[in-house]
């Protein structure tokens, strides 16, 4: 990823820090949850895949009773969106307070290939005892061709299991799966751990990542599995 973009995102977040409330992550590893964070909150994501290309970054800003999403991906299918380009969007909690809706727009201009892709989705999160469940259906268009030029409907799900016995912070185990209706893709699976050493810092360690074998211009790219898979850091202000 372009280092200047990471520096710019960090600079923006730090300059707003004195005005903004603390906001915890509003995602699992790669899925949206129903949480949108506090009003006027800022959350900065940095993702580094241990098998893949470069670092990705994301910025979330709590405004207009929702959250603005700004993502810069540098990997096939991205680490938090279905794009491998920059995307901008908005997520808002719906009236029942358990369901959020969001949309993302991505414009690309590479190798005389230009166009716009969109993603729309819902996120439902519920806690049952000690377990937290997340359901995240999402529809993504594919003018860019990273999924074989086929619009795709994903049905994503995740479960979070708290871990006990830590002396510092809190931790949980997370399992993610994403099913789809696109023959060019395989099921996406992520398994790993989340550690929150303090309220404004979250570290995710994806120990195994299967990114679903994306099809690019009709060709399947098999370099999408990792053991270990990815390290993600979230800093909230």
Kindly compute the dihedral angle of the four CA atoms of residues 183, 79, 105, 114, in this order, to the nearest 10 degrees: -70
pTM higher than the cut 0.85:
no
Query: Diameter of the chain by CA atoms?
Result: 55
Residue 3 has pLDDT above 80, yes or no: no
| CA dihedral over 162, 235, 25, 210, signed as positive or negative | negative
Confidence band for 227, pLDDT divided at 50, 70 and 90? confident
Quick check: 157 and 137 in contact, CB under 8 A? no
3-236 belongs to CATH 3.20.20.80: no
Q: How many CB atoms lie within 10 A of CB 221?
A: 13
Chain-centroid distance, C-alpha 199: 19
CB-based contact 67:100 (threshold 8 Å): no
Tens-digit pLDDT profile for residues 47-61: 888 766 678 889 999
pLDDT at position 14 over 50? no
CA distance 30 to 20: 24
pLDDT of 62 reads 93
Residue 211 phi, psi (nearest 5): -85, 5
- pLDDT on residue 28: 94
* pLDDT value of position 108: 86
**pLDDT at position 87, please?**
92
Vertex 205 angle, CA 201 and 206, to 5° = 140
The two tokens of residue 157 are 């799900």
Distance, in Å, from the CA atom of 24 to the CA atom of 42, rounded to the nearest integer, reads 9
pLDDT at residue 142 tops 70? yes
The 10s digit of each residue's pLDDT in 145-204 is 878 888 999 999 999 999 998 888 999 999 999 999 988 888 889 999 999 999 899 999
The closest alpha carbon to 193, from 176, 171, 208, belongs to: 171
């Amino acid at each position: 990823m372009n280092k200047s973009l990471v520096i710019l995102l960090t600079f923006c977040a730090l300059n707003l820090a004195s005005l903004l409330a603390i906001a915890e992550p509003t995602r699992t590893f790669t899925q949206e949850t129903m949480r949108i964070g506090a009003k006027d909150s800022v959350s900065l994501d940095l993702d580094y895949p241990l098998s893949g290309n470069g670092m990705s970054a994301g910025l979330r800003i709590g405004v207009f009773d929702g959250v603005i999403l700004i993502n810069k991906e540098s990997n096939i299918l991205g680490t938090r969106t279905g794009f491998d380009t920059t995307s901008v969007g908005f997520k808002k909690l719906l009236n029942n307070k358990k369901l959020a809706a969001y949309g993302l727009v991505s414009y690309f201009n590479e190798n005389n290939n230009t166009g716009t892709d969109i993603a729309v989705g819902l996120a439902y999160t519920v806690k049952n005892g000690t377990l937290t469940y997340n359901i995240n259906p999402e529809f993504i268009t594919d003018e860019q061709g990273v999924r074989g030029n086929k619009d795709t409907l994903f049905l994503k799900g995740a479960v979070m299991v708290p871990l006990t016995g830590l002396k510092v912070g809190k931790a949980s185990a997370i399992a993610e799966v994403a099913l789809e209706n696109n023959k060019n893709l395989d099921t996406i699976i992520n398994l790993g751990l989340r550690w929150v050493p303090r309220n404004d810092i979250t570290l995710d360690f994806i120990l195994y990542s299967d990114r679903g074998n994306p099809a690019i211009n009709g060709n399947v790219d098999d370099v999408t599995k990792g053991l270990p898979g990815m390290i993600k850091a979230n800093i909230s202000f």
